[in-house]
Structure 1
Amino acid sequence: QEGRRGLALLHTSRDFINWKQSTKPLHYNDGSGMWECPDFFPVARADSHGLDTSFSGSVKHVLKVSLSDTSKDYYTIGTYDRVRDQYAPDEGFVQDDTAPRYDYGKFYASKTFYDSVSRRRILWGWVNESSPEKENIKKGWAGLQAIPRKVWLDDSGKRLMQWPVKEIERLRTTQVKLGNKVLEGGGSVID
């Protein structure tokens, strides 16, 4: 609790068996509280293709943290110095609850991965519902996995864009169109 420093540590490996922790934090911020589920990855400056984490061309980097205090995911865009092994957010970005969020609903503990076949970065997250514990026990579940999304850097280089992955379209069957229908609170459009 003292200082409430949130920090991210970077680990590296050449064989995915033996890992080495960096000698200093990748990035930190005093007063931001505990950082959960950090995610650190490169994004292309010029197009919407995803990049493998080892890519070192013309890129920006994203550091996402899930803040324990707010149960929300926040990200910064910045520069990673491989020699110094440090990340610095671009001007205007602070790694705290003033940073942009991936989602402004219930979305937490997200992680991304690089899909090398489709050359895209995919974002997964947890929809942490707020049902009372008794209802969760009765239902037999609590929370759910959000629809996966492709993530890329916008043209300004200051914001992440996202869109549901194209595979979601295969799940759609019958189209429903509603016109001139008023939905009252607690109502339903399903007959």
Structure 2
Amino acid sequence: MIMGSKQNKTGLVFVYHTDDFMNYKLLDDPFYSVPNTDMWECVDFYPVSLTDDSTLDMVAYGPGIKHVIKESWEGHGKDWYSIGT
């Protein structure tokens, strides 16, 4: 599970791991962060194809696939995104 948050003036995404969907453990390092941003809310993470417009399974990775992190910043009323591998 991912969760948006903020530490000082850095918006970030935390990752929690679970084996049973009842007990969650926060991983040591944030998944992604950007300094001088506000609280990140409504975070989404998903793959997109670079070669066609077909839908991808959430665990898709490899050549021709990028991943998107989409978040809203507290108080801005806008969505922001980053694309990477």
Same fold per superposition (TM over 0.5): yes
RMSD of aligned Cα (Å): 2.2
Helix, strand or coil at the partner of 2:52: coil
Matched with 1:43 is 48
In structure 1, runs of 5+ residues without a counterpart are 80-191
Q: Which amino acid aligns with 1:69?
A: G
1:23-58: CA deviation from partner (whole Å, max 9, x where unpaired): 100111111111011111111121111222212222
Instruction: Indicate the structure (1 or 2) with the bigger Cα radius of gyration.
Output: 1
Q: TM-score, normalization: structure 2?
A: 0.76
1:7 aligns with 2:12: yes
Q: Distance in 1 between the 2:23 and 2:55 partners?
A: 26
Between structures 1 and 2, the one with greater helix share:
1
Distance 2:80 2:54 in 1: 22
Question: Which of 1 and 2 has higher RCO (CA within 8 Å, sep 6+)?
Answer: 2
Corresponding letter in the other structure for 2:33: Y
Distance 1:2 1:16 in 2: 26
Structure 1 position 26 matched with structure 2 position 31 = yes
Q: CA deviation at 1:15?
A: 4.4
| TM-score w.r.t. length of structure 1 | 0.37
Q: Partners of 2:39 and 2:29 in 1: how far apart?
A: 17
- Correspondence for 1:92: none
Alignment: residue pair count: 79
Distance verdict in 2 for CA 1:4–1:60, change over 3 Å: same
* Alignment correspondent of 2:80: 74
Of residues 62, 65, 68, the one that matches 1:57 is 62
Letter in 2 for 1:10: V
Which ranges of structure 2 fall in alignment gaps of 5 or more residues? 1-5
Q: Secondary structure at the match of 1:8?
A: strand
Letter in 1 for 2:74: S
Give the Cα–Cα distance (whole angstroms) in 1 for the partners of residues 56 and 19 of structure 2: 18
AA at the equivalent of 2:71: V
Q: Which has a greater percent of strand?
A: 2
